[in-house]
């Protein structure tokens, strides 16, 4: 301790300010010493301080060693244990003094001190993350569900309003059409009454029965329903269907040309194609034509009703009844030709049927079906895909010489007894569905 005190006094003496006389002379403007002298003085002062610090540290080490050497053996072992744990001599001595030499308590004190320092160095803890309560989650979910339900209700309301407007417009159009048809019927009653014997003689045979049929149909159903009903009656009359489709197309394409809105009922072609067909005259009345002085005139044109009539007739073209009647009519027309023209016509029809047959798949492919078509005493084999339909086989059968081109029947003769194939309901069924896969035998005969 005496050596440490002496070293401290020496260090304090080297750091004292300059004596007052020297300082006063410097302030009064006395000539300064050369810079070399000042440098030597600073070097001497630094050397003195370094020496003093070394002396203090050495002295402290001597004292520390003397103090530790004077401690009991148990205390020295405790200090050694704490130092091995990573603590300094000073920390170990302070902890042992505070714990009365108990190593475990000293370690506990040092750990508490370390935790306190770490807590202070970490600063304030970040705010805890708020966890949404289940009640808030349910409330949020309910609000979302209510919002979705509201949007769905609004959308449904808009759709219902649009549908209501559409129904109202359709009802108004139907009511207007019914009113016009009623006026036309009343007018037709007046015009059909003969004014003289000459007028009665000049009236045509087709115009006379047309009046009662119009009155009867006008009394039942809406205008659209009457058009549909009249079109359905024409399904077996391909000439009438084709003629009426052509006539309505011209009226729709040229609405302001009177020649397309006026039909002479005494015309021979009109009598053969439309007037002679059941429902032909009724259909023309249903779409808006009126009898005026031996003609059918479309005075008040209703495009919607005309489109409905044309669409109904085009739907009839897709039915099997129409197609069979069309083929029979063409065959009848061909029979009226010479033998050469007939054979040419038959060849064209068979070529047209063959063109509608799908391409034959390669041999050996998976999913192929080998079909044998029996026409009279001849048999023709061909490969089809299992996804092909009965209609494809029918077209192929009609392309075979000797097969009926008109109305025909087909039978599945793969197994005994044979199974009849419905050419109206089963044309769209696949070969696999008809049990004609992977192979099968089909016979075609005239109906």
Tell me how crowded residue 444 is: count the other CB atoms within 10 A of its CB. Answer: 23
Cis, peptide link before residue 417, omega less than 30° from 0: yes
Write out pLDDT tens, residues 43-57: 444 444 543 444 344
Burial class (CB in 10 A: 0-12, 13-18, 19+), 2: exposed
Cα 351 from Cα 399, distance rounded (Å):
6
What is residue 260's predicted lDDT score, i.e. its pLDDT?
A: 85
Residues 309 and 287 sit within 8 Å (Cβ to Cβ): yes
Q: Which of 5-14, 258-267, 281-290, 405-414 has the lowest mean pLDDT?
A: 5-14
> Tokens representing 300?
């008040």
Q: Say how far apart CA 217 and CA 325 lie, in whole Å.
A: 26
Residue 349: how many CA atoms within 13 Å on its side-chain side?
Answer: 22
The first and second tokens of residue 119, run together, are: 């807590």
Residue 11 has pLDDT above 80, yes or no: no
Question: Token pair of 240, please?
Answer: 């009438």
**CATH 3.10.20.90 segments of the chain:** 359-446
**Mean model confidence pLDDT for the chain:** 73
Q: How far apart are CA 25 and CA 28, in angstroms?
A: 5
pLDDT score of 81: 78
Predicted confidence band at 300 (pLDDT cuts at 50, 70, 90)? confident
Question: What is the mean predicted confidence (pLDDT) over 146-172?
Answer: 66
User: Is 134 a residue whose pLDDT tops 70?
Assistant: no
Give the strands of the sheet with 262-264, arranged side by side: 262-264, 295-297, 290-292
With a pLDDT cut of 70, the percent of the chain lying above it is 63
Q: Work out the angle at residue 408's Cα, subtended by the Cα atoms of residues 423 and 378, and round it to the nearest 5 degrees.
A: 115
Q: What is the pLDDT of residue 214?
A: 39
Please give the structure tokens belonging to residue 433: 């569905």
Predicted pLDDT at 358: 94
Kindly tell me the sign of the dihedral angle through the C-alpha atoms of 291, 292, 297, 298: negative
Spatial distance between the Cα atoms of 146 and 71, rounded to a whole number of angstroms: 82
Per residue in 29-39, pLDDT tens?
A: 444 444 444 44
pLDDT recorded at residue 368: 92
Cβ-contact 371, 436 below 8 angstroms: yes
- Which tokens is 316 given? 């009839």
- Region 196-203: what's the mean pLDDT? 38
Assigned fold of 359-446 = Ubiquitin-like (UB roll) (3.10.20)
pLDDT on residue 205? 36
Which residue's entry shows tokens 């021979």? 268
Taking the C-alpha atoms of residue 194 and residue 202, their distance in angstroms, rounded to an integer, is 10
pLDDT score of 184 more than 80: no
pTM above 0.85, yes or no: no
User: How far is Cα 137 from Cα 150, in angstroms, rounded to an integer?
Assistant: 20
Kindly report, as residue ranges, where domains of CATH 1.20.58.2190 are found in the chain. 187-191+204-318
| Number of Cα atoms under 13 Å in the Cβ half of residue 124 | 3
Non-local (6+) Cβ contacts of 350 within 8 A are 398, 399, 400, 401, 405
H/E segment holding residue 89: helix 89-99
When comparing pLDDT for 105 and 201, which is higher?
A: 105
Going by their DSSP bridges, the two strands 295-297 and 290-292 should be labelled as antiparallel
Which residue in the block uniquely carries the two structure tokens 């009703």? Answer: 305
SS3 at position 132: coil
Please say whether the structural domain 187-191+204-318 has been given the CATH code 2.40.30.30.
no
**Quick one: pLDDT at residue 70?**
56
Q: Where are the beta strands (DSSP E) in 237-362?
A: 262-264, 290-292, 295-297
**d(C-alpha 181, C-alpha 216), whole Å:** 12
Q: Which of 234, 251, 191, 245 is nearest to 215 (CA)?
A: 191
Structure-block tokens of residue 264:
């002479």
- What pLDDT, in 10s, does the model give residues 314-335? 888 888 888 888 888 888 777 7
pLDDT of residue 221: 59
Q: pLDDT at position 348, please?
A: 92
| Residue 59 pLDDT | 40
Spatial CA neighbour of 302 closest among 214, 172, 187, 188: 172
């Amino acid at each position: 301790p005496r050596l440490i005190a002496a070293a401290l006094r020496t260090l304090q003496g080297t750091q004292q300010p300059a004596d007052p006389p020297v300082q006063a002379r410097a302030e009064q403007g006395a000539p300064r010493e050369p810079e070399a002298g000042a440098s030597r003085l600073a070097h001497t002062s630094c050397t003195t301080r370094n020496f003093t610090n070394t002396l203090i540290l050495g002295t402290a080490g001597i004292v520390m060693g003397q103090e530790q050497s004077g401690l009991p053996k148990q205390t020295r072992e405790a200090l050694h244990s704490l130092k091995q744990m990573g603590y300094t001599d000073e920390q170990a001595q302070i902890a042992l003094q505070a714990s009365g030499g108990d190593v475990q308590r000293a370690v506990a004190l040092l750990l508490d001190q370390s935790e306190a320092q770490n807590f202070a160095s970490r600063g304030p803890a970040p705010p805890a993350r708020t966890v949404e309560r289940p009640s808030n989650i349910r409330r949020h979910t309910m609000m979302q569900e209510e919002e979705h339900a509201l949007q769905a209700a609004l959308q449904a309301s808009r759709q219902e309003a649009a549908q209501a407007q559409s129904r109202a417009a359709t009802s108004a159009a139907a009511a207007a059409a019914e009113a016009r048809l009623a006026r036309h019927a009343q007018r037709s009653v007046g015009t059909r009454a003969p004014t003289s014997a000459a007028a009665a003689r000049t009236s045509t045979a087709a115009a006379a029965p047309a009046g009662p049929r119009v009155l009867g149909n006008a009394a039942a159903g809406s205008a659209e329903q009457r058009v549909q009903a009249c079109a359905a009656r024409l399904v077996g009359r391909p000439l009438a269907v084709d003629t009426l489709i052509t006539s309505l197309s011209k009226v729709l394409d040229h609405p302001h040309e009177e020649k397309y809105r006026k039909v002479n009922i005494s015309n021979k072609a009109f009598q053969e194609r439309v007037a002679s067909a059941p429902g032909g005259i009724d259909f023309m009345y249903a779409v808006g034509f009126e009898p005026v002085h031996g003609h059918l005139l479309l005075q008040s044109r209703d495009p919607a009703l005309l489109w409905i009539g044309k669409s109904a007739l085009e739907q009839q073209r897709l039915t099997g009844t129409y197609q069979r009647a069309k083929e029979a009519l063409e065959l009848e027309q061909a029979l009226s030709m010479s033998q050469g023209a007939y054979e040419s016509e038959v060849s064209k029809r068979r070529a047209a049927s063959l063109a509608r047959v799908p391409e034959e798949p390669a041999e050996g492919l998976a999913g192929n079906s080998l079909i044998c078509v029996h026409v009279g005493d001849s048999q023709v084999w061909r490969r089809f895909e299992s996804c092909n339909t009965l209609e494809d086989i029918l077209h192929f059968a009609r392309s075979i010489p000797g097969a009926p081109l008109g109305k025909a029947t087909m039978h599945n003769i793969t197994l005994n007894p044979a199974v009849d194939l419905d050419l109206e309901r089963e044309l769209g069924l696949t070969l696999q569905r008809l049990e004609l896969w992977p192979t099968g035998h089909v016979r075609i005969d005239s109906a």
